[in-house]
Amino acid sequence: MVADRLFRVLCLVMVAMLPSAATADGLTLEHIAKIQRVTQAVVSPDGEHIAYTLRVPRIPGVEDDGPARSELHIIGPDGESRGYVTGDVSVRSLQWMPDSESVAFLTRRDNDKHRTLYHIRVDGGEAEPLARLETAIRGYHIGPDGDRVALIAEEPDPDDLVAEREMGFDQIIYEEDWKPRRLWIKDLTDGDVEMLEVDGSVQQVRWSPTGERLALQVTPRQLVDDTLMFKRIRIITPDGSEHGRIDNPGKLGEMSWSPDGERIAFIATESIQDTREGRLMVADHDGGPWDHLLPGLEGHVRNVGWLDPDRIVYVSHEGVESRLGVYDLDSHDDQTLHEHEGRIHRSMSVADTGRIACIVDTPEHPREVYALDADHEDMERLTDSNEWLSDVRLARQERLVYEARDGLDIEGLLVYPLDYEEGERYPLILAAHGGPESHYSNGWLTRYNLPAQHAAAEGYFMFYPNYRGSTGRGVWFTETSQARPAAEEFDDLVDGVDHLIDEGYVDEDRVGITGGSYGGYASAWAATYYSDRFAASVMNVGISDKISMLGTSDIPRELYLVHYFYWPWEDWDMFREASPIYHVEQAQTPILILHGDADPRVDPTQSRILYRYLELQDDPPPVRLVLYRGEGHSNQRAATRWDYSHRLMRWMDHFLIEGGEEKPDYRLDYNLPE
């Protein structure tokens, strides 16, 4: 603990060396790189303490490169937050022990070969191991009496396979050499560990409050497609006997037992073709049929818990806002516990006393810990992880609704230039979200890859549209883009730009677009099919060829079931015409293409193909391809994120503000702290 505290102090000193945040010039890219945010918050059963994990970025040039650290902090009854496991650590998966005297978590410490389950007492002391297996623990849940824990982990490799690999026989047998995740029960009183036989691969486990049952989420195989589309709930007894099943269709989210163990609430989909889990369901403790509690909800449920045996509490994202709701199973009454414009609930945790801890962000700050008192009248902010941010001048952010060309209302968020003057026209960066089963909420929008407040400080509008197919408006809205890729959904983006031009906000000759994954697909589409409308594009991990993308992605069945409804050989024309490479001959837009070279979701060949096809044109537009070594479908390392932010803004500034015609130098001035 002493070494951890010393490391933490040294890091705070080094971070303080970054450019001062007390500035009238708004947020800088360097400020964005050091932003800390809460990633999990869990209230103790007695409601007295809230444990949370804090994401602490590494700073290039100051610390060794790598992903952000994840620290454990606890807020006490006095409202003060104290660091418990800090420094160069990676803490995840918090859960309180039933007596509220200690909190459990997963991490890997100095002497651990694999991720191990620890706990630490709220009254201090060192963290102690609770459970250790021969392989990394992937998930766990502590029994209601505190003397048993269910663990999810893979079985160790057999000795002969280990020996073969040591001799160099380390080949990958694609999608055949997967290993199931097994369920283990450890008795914390005598240390005995038993593996239960479960057919399939276990993804999640929850003890019932009576200890008589466990609810499991199980997939047929440990493949990404299965974990997305084919998770199903099984009810078993602690000896491994199956007690019942819930054969939910399609995607599956959180599940939670009622306090009396008689029911289980879960978040699922209406059908196998529903694009995103977001329907609130409840079933009997033996499984079987379920009730759909909010069938008309024009939103998506994100989290679920219980206030008492008859009342379910949940977080719902509706449009660009969010709501903390409660559903009474006896009266079938749905009420709102808390909603506040621009206060976005990202998760929640419920104490036995009724106190609720939430992670919340707003347009003024990233994700922090809030708490709703037991009488559910006052919600209080409990953490301030970026105190310096209060000295930064932030730009105006507001909800925007415009009409698409076919009359459908589209909702989005608009961040104004920091020094906006009415009547002036400004350059625009459009941010296309991924999915498309995702959406933007009216909270903190600034990230390393979508630097809204920095762009505003540089004199840009930044526009975040929730085009058709987005979540947050119910199942019907997500279905509007199915089986029609790159059609009306991307027309919505252009219609939003036209609206801003018509309103006198935006200079039509200085419009850029960026996004990742499906947003990268939109950015490639804007640079080819809609090239005459965009003066710059930055595509991240995006799609350029629908045909080969389906054959190289780790989610082909998900793509088929909830997006395309056709295989390429059933409609070659649709797949070809919805591919940006099919339109490269009309491309004029300067495009910067960024991709992790280890991306399993959208293979980096998607970016290589687009780059090559553009570069081979007789009169190609400025095009650059940057591959990030070892990164996947999102960038994790601090240096990679730093490079991305600076490269993105350099491309936009060069073509939208400076009037550049050729590519800027591929080398960057990183402006690293000394």
Q: Check residue 15 and give its pLDDT.
A: 43
Same domain, 262 and 410: no
Q: Where is the domain boundary, 287, 306, 325?
A: 306
Same domain, 150 and 247: yes
Residue 246 lies in a domain: yes
Residue 145 lies in a domain: yes
Same domain, 534 and 401: yes
Q: Check residue 24 and give its pLDDT.
A: 53
In DSSP terms, 214 is beta-bridged to: 207, 236
Same domain, 600 and 470: yes
For residue 123 the two structure tokens come to 């009254």
In DSSP terms, 232 is beta-bridged to: 218
Nearest-angstrom CA–CA distance, 47 and 376: 13
Residue 567 lies in a domain: yes
Range of 295's domain? 133-306
Domain count, the chain: 2
Q: Where is the domain boundary, 306, 321, 353?
A: 306
Residue 324 lies in a domain: no
Look up the CATH number of the domain holding residue 559. 3.40.50.1820
Instruction: Tell me the pLDDT tens digit for each residue of 529-562.
Output: 999 999 999 999 999 999 999 999 999 999 999 9
Residue 651 lies in a domain: yes
Residue 371 lies in a domain: no
Same domain, 174 and 294: yes
81 backbone dihedrals φ, ψ, rounded to 5°? -100, 135
Same domain, 467 and 609: yes
- Provide the residue type at 452 as one letter: A
Q: Check residue 3 and give its pLDDT.
A: 42
Low-confidence spans in the chain with pLDDT less than 70: 1-24, 674
Same domain, 414 and 558: yes
Same domain, 399 and 300: no
Instruction: Tell me the pLDDT tens digit for each residue of 440-449.
Output: 999 999 999 9
Nearest-angstrom CA–CA distance, 306 and 286: 18
Nearest-angstrom CA–CA distance, 600 and 322: 32
- Provide the residue type at 65 as one letter: D
For residue 508 the two structure tokens come to 């039509």
Three-class SS of residue 32?
Answer: helix
Look up the CATH number of the domain holding residue 299. 2.120.10.30
Q: Where is the domain boundary, 241, 272, 306?
A: 306
Residue 662 lies in a domain: no
Residue 472 lies in a domain: yes
Cα angle, residue 432 at apex, residues 636 and 620 outer, rounded to 5°: 90
Same domain, 440 and 564: yes
Q: What is the DSSP string of 452-517?
A: HHHHHHTT-EEEEEE-TT-SSS-HHHHGGGTT-TTSHHHHHHHHHHHHHHHTT-EEEEEEEEEEET
